[in-house]
Structure formats: structure tokens, C-alpha cells
Structure 1
Amino acid sequence: MCPGPIAPLRAVSSLRQTGRMDRNLALVTGAARGIGLATTRLMLDRGWTVAMIDRDGPALDAAADGLRDARAFLCDVSDPDQVAAMIDDVRTAFGRIDAVVNNAGVALFGPIEETGFDTWREVMATNLDGPFLVTQAALPALKESRGSVVNIASISGLRASTLRVAYGTSKAAVIQLTKQQAAEFGEFGIRANCICPGPVRTKLAMAVHTQEIVDAYHDAIPLNRYGSEKEIASCIAFLCSDEASYVTGQVLAADGGFEATGVGLPALRG
């Protein structure tokens, strides 16, 4: 079962007393770092409350520390039982779910011939099963709020490159999952959209990208730079908002024009 909320920053009773239970609630997976944490902070800045979901307890606790109107919930989104319990806990704490941001993901790269089935399943379990399970479990709450789903795929789901057989395939499947959700959820007033980030300057990316790769990306991207976590978070926040009230089933490549160029990068080949 899901361990439930950890290190709650404000008691549920306090949320109710200050009227926060009436504010829109965004559930963000993979919220302990990177795009998920940037999205959490931006949504808070825009007046939302946020349920921060991650399976890395210490990192999640540290990320949530000091964030007013956010609350951390420890959960592995690839586990159906944990997801069901987590959604129950979030609805108990906040009384509603207005947006689900399926951001949690793992990136394991390698040649096809060296990719074991255990690696394949690990990537699929988090990157594809996770968005399916979380959205399905949150659906009753989303029907009540006529809310929004934003799935985070990747530029690797739009264009193939070497070493990404599991990762790229999982993200391409997330794009199709989004379209299926949009087609079925529309009658309930629920929107579903997908964002495909291109190269983003995260700590993880900068740790594994050689200078040759960095230079190659800068040359291939029309805007000549990596994106920032906050730029991706801004796209997510827009799709969650009423400003995107007639937008559903769409795939947005937030990539500086990288996908549009259609040129591969020799530096990224193994």
C-alpha cells in the first residue's frame, strides 16, 4: 500500500480553516526535482495548491520543505495499489483534484541488442503504466471538477534516435495515450494534452551530456540553446489553466524548434 503523505507542511485542518480547500488542486508526479518541482513552484505562484508525488522519500521531503500550500505524498506510480491509496489520500487531504500532471519518468539508455527485458519493463512501468494508472484512479475526481490532464512525453517520442529503444517507445506511447484520453474524456469536460520537452538544462542532463553533445544540441536547435525547467513548467501551467479551455488532444513540442529541423545528431550515437 502507498505509505501516504510524508512531512505534511500544513495540517488538513489548517488548509480548511484558511479556505485553501476551495483552491484548485494540481497533482504533480515526479515532483521531487526537475520539471516536476519547477511545475509545483509555478502552480503555487499562480494560486493553486499542489499534491507533490514521488517515490524518492528523502528528495521529496526536501523539495516540499517550506513550500506553502503544497503537501508531499510518497508513491510509486507504477504500482496500482500505491496509486489507488495515494489518490484516496489526496482527495481526503484536499477534497478535489483539478489537474493531473503525469511527469514521473525514468530514462535508461542503451543499444537495442543490450537492452534487457527487465530494463524495458522498468521504463514502461513508470513512463507508460504510471500515467495510465494515475489518470484512471483520478478520473472520478476529474469528472467532478471537469479538470485537465497533462502528460509529459519527450521529443524522443516524436523523433527516433539511437540508444532510446525503451525510453523513446514509452514516450511515443504516452502521446497516443493522451489522444485516447482526450477522445474518451471530452464528454465529461475533461481535457487531456501532452508536452514533449526537447533538451532541458536539468542537473541530470548536465551530468550526463558531454561538451560534444551540448555543442551539437546548440548547433541543431534553432534557438541555439537548451530549454529551462521553468519554460516547460509554463507550458504545463497553461494547459492546466482555463486559458486552454478549448485545447485537448494536442501534442506540444517545447523544444526550441528541434523537432522541426528533422536532423539527427551524430554526437548522440553510441
Structure 2
Amino acid sequence: MSQLKGKVALITGGSKGIGYGIAAQLVAQGIHVGITSRSLKSAEEAANILKDNAKDGAKILALEADVRNYDDQVKAVLKLEETFGQLDIVVANAGLGHFGSIEDITIEQWNDVIDTNLTGAFYTLKSSVASLKKSEGYYISISSLAGTNFFAGGTAYNASKFGVTGFTQAAMLDLRQHKVKVSTIMPGSVSTHFNGNEPSDKGAWKIQIEDIGELVVDLLKMNPRTLPSKIEVRPTTPPSK
């Protein structure tokens, strides 16, 4: 029997990509999972598929919530607590990217990236921190190697992911004395639909979404005395340039 059976998790942006991969691995551990999406239909469709992965009675709850809206995040947390009685794990995964030189990036694109990736991570933790203190739970943000390595055309995305990394590490120091564990995962190239990519056999060299899910499970199973607070993860063998 999984040591995680019966725990309750919230994953933002859990209807596809990395969030979906994490949800699939968590329900396979017997964890009840709430997945959010801006589209309730998308969340419900993903939840129906995730049921095939569920073990030990794990349930999946589809939630409509926009991480850019604090009230939406509060409602998602309350719904999970009302449904399952607790909240043990929160994964701030929702994110997007707009790329272009500082001359070309628009005000609207900048705000969209910062509000979703960075403010969204803040709202996700802010709305759930009381619940996590009560359960002595775990908050995990999905940052990026772009949160430590800058690149041309990445002004908005780099700023958001540098911010997520710094925010999460500072929050870790705030919450560790409350026995709340806080980590950020910083993936490199992942095979998802992010930024218009199309997953295919050509991307087999990339990190797969289930790999990030397995990493989250490993963190949750880590001895409570030990905290991997910042984890960089990259493809083992990228193509030669």
C-alpha cells in the first residue's frame, strides 16, 4: 500500500502537459487530486482519462480556476477541503510563454506571462498556506531552467521564472519552521505542447511529463528531515548542435 494513499493534492494547470503528468503519477499513488484549468470542460476531460491511472480509491476533482484570479484559487482550495477534508500537497504548475525581443514583446504579453507564471504561483501558495500549515504539507512550484539561465527573446519568460525560483526559495525559509516543505522543480526541455510544440517521437530525447510526475512522487516520499529545495532537471542526452 502506498504511504501516500489518502493524501489530497491540488495541481494548477493540471489538464495537460506537466501538470497532467504529475496528476497521473499522484493518483497512481492513491492520492486524491484536484486539477484546475481555465476551462472546466478541459479539466473534466482530463479527469475522466486520469481515472484509468487511479489506485487505492483515489478520486479526481475537475475545477475551473484561473491562477491570475486570487478568488478562484481560494475557491479551489475550499472545494478540495470540503470534498476531502484536508489539503496536503499543492503544485503550482500553471504557466505560459510569450517570446520576443524587448522591442517586440507587447505590454499585454508581458502582463500575461508575469500574471500567470509568477503572480499565479504567489496566489496559489497564499490561498493554500493555512491549509498546508494545518496538514504540515508540501508546496511545489514548477519553475524552469529559464529561472536561472537567461536567453535572447526571453525577457518576460525569464523574468517570470527567475521570480518563481526566488519566490519559492524565500517561501521555503518562511515556512520550514511550520513543518511545511517547499521546493521548486526547474525542468529543461519537456515534451509538451508548450509554445506551439507538438510532442512526437522526434522529442523522445526530451524529459517526458511522467518523469516530472515521478520526481514529484520521489519528493513526497523523501524522509521529512530532508528537503531538496531546488531541483534542476534536464535531458540526459540532447541532440548535438
- Aligned equivalent of 2:233, options 254, 257, 260: 254
- Aligned-pair identity in percent equals 24
Give me the whole-angstrom Cα distance separating, in 2, the residues matched to 1:105 and 1:206.
Answer: 14
| Corresponding residue SS for 1:112 | coil
Instruction: Summarize the alignment of residues 90-169 of structure 1 with structure 2, pairs less than 5 Å apart.
Output: 90-169=80-159
> Is the contact made by 1:178 and 1:249 (CA closer than 8 Å) also made in structure 2?
no
Instruction: Summarize the alignment of residues 71-90 of structure 1 with structure 2, pairs less than 5 Å apart.
Output: 71-90=61-80
Give me the whole-angstrom Cα distance separating, in 2, the residues matched to 1:247 and 1:104.
Answer: 26
| Corresponding residue SS for 1:113 | coil
> Is the contact made by 1:36 and 1:103 (CA closer than 8 Å) also made in structure 2?
yes
| Corresponding residue SS for 2:66 | coil
| Corresponding residue SS for 1:65 | helix
| Corresponding residue SS for 1:200 | coil
Runs (4+) off by over 4 Å: none
Which residue number in structure 2 is paired with residue 245 of structure 1? Answer: 224
Give me the whole-angstrom Cα distance separating, in 1, the residues matched to 2:225 and 2:120.
Answer: 26
Give 1:91 shift.
1.2
- Aligned equivalent of 1:231, options 211, 216, 219: 211
Instruction: Report which of the two has the higher share of helix.
Output: 1
> Is the contact made by 2:192 and 2:198 (CA closer than 8 Å) also made in structure 1?
no
| Corresponding residue SS for 1:161 | coil
> Of the two, which has the highest radius of gyration?
1
Give 1:256 shift.
2.5
> Is the contact made by 1:238 and 1:244 (CA closer than 8 Å) also made in structure 2?
no
Give me the whole-angstrom Cα distance separating, in 1, the residues matched to 2:162 and 2:41.
Answer: 31
Give 1:203 shift.
3.3
Which residue number in structure 2 is paired with residue 172 of structure 1? Answer: 162
Give me the whole-angstrom Cα distance separating, in 1, the residues matched to 2:74 and 2:112.
Answer: 20
Give me the whole-angstrom Cα distance separating, in 2, the residues matched to 1:131 and 1:226.
Answer: 25
Give me the whole-angstrom Cα distance separating, in 2, the residues matched to 1:96 and 1:50.
Answer: 11
Give me the whole-angstrom Cα distance separating, in 1, the residues matched to 2:152 and 2:98.
Answer: 12
Q: In the alignment, residue 54 of structure 1 is paired with which amino acid?
A: S
Structure 2: gaps (5+ residues): none
Tell me how large the CA RMSD over aligned residues is.
2.3
**Structure-1-length-normalised TM-score:** 0.78
**Structure-2-length-normalised TM-score:** 0.87
Give me the whole-angstrom Cα distance separating, in 2, the residues matched to 1:205 and 1:234.
Answer: 24
Structure 1: gaps (5+ residues): 1-21, 219-223
Give 1:244 shift.
4.7
